[in-house]
Amino acid sequence: MKRKNKETTSKARETPHEADVAEILKKLQAQGLKRTQTLVRLLKFMATERRPHTLVELAASQGLEERNPVTLYRMMIKLERADVVRRVNLRERAQHFELLLPGSVPDYLVCTKCGDLKQVETPPEIDTLKNLVTETTGWKNLRHELEFFGICPRCTA
């Protein structure tokens, strides 16, 4: 009987967000950041709950309840500098952070009355514009951030 390679077997059982977290951890370790329980829990939570989060929400998530919000903020700054998270401008006082997954930069509709958040599909013209800007300016690794602000159907009813 043939034995399966442990690595192959465990990769087959990985969920998509676990694979994303593993890739992000490799990237961070290559940049010199330590792999800690807090970091792994934070990344797993953000990969599973794919939306912008405040520090208060992150601190209340499972496994991070006892972490100091200042520690989480410092970690988010390091992750932002490493291009692993981005700040999302929701025009609220609290800062929101979102995990940057390969090939995915979500865009949002934001209700200015109730704060409801809805992810919208990025129009292909955005990628065309991004490519044009890259070609004409020489800038590399461009990404965009697009949020539309308005009043949701529930608030206009």
**Which CATH number does the domain housing residue 154 bear?**
3.30.1490.190
Q: Give the count of beta carbons closer than 10 Å to the beta carbon of residue 128.
A: 10
Q: Is the residue at 4 inside a domain? A: no
Tell me: do 50 and 72 sit in the same domain: yes
Q: Is the residue at 7 inside a domain? A: no
Q: Which of 10-19, 64-73, 83-92 has the lowest mean pLDDT?
A: 10-19
Residues 102-132: tens digit of each pLDDT: 666 778 888 888 878 888 887 888 888 988 9
More reliable by pLDDT, 29 or 7: 29
The count of domains in the chain is 2
Residues 65-85: tens digit of each pLDDT: 777 778 888 888 999 999 888
Q: Sign of dihedral through CA atoms 31, 36, 42, 47?
A: positive
The CATH number of residue 78's host domain is: 1.10.10.10
Tell me: do 90 and 21 sit in the same domain: yes
Range 24-30 contact pairs with CB under 8 angstroms and sequence separation of 24 or more: 24/84, 24/99, 27/82, 27/84, 28/79, 28/82, 28/84
Tell me: do 70 and 41 sit in the same domain: yes
pLDDT at 137: 93
- Going along the chain, which residue ranges are E strands? 53-54, 85-88, 96-99, 107-111, 117-120, 147-150
Q: Is the residue at 9 inside a domain? A: no
The answer to whether 88 and 108 have CB atoms below 8 angstroms apart is yes
Q: What angle do CA 42, 47, 48 make, to 5 degrees?
A: 100
Residue 49 confidence (pLDDT) above 90: no
Domain of 21, in residue numbers = 16-103
Tell me: do 126 and 149 sit in the same domain: yes
pTM: 0.68
Mean pLDDT rounded to a whole number for the chain: 80
Tell me: do 47 and 82 sit in the same domain: yes
Q: Please compute the mean of the pLDDT values over residues 4-10 and round it to a whole number.
A: 47
Tell me: do 20 and 96 sit in the same domain: yes
Tell me: do 93 and 118 sit in the same domain: no
Tell me: do 49 and 67 sit in the same domain: yes
Q: Which amino acid is at 128?
A: T
Reading the block at residue 137, the tokens are 């300016």
More reliable by pLDDT, 62 or 155: 155
Tell me: do 83 and 152 sit in the same domain: no
Q: Is the residue at 156 inside a domain? A: yes
Tell me: do 123 and 80 sit in the same domain: no
pLDDT at 17: 73
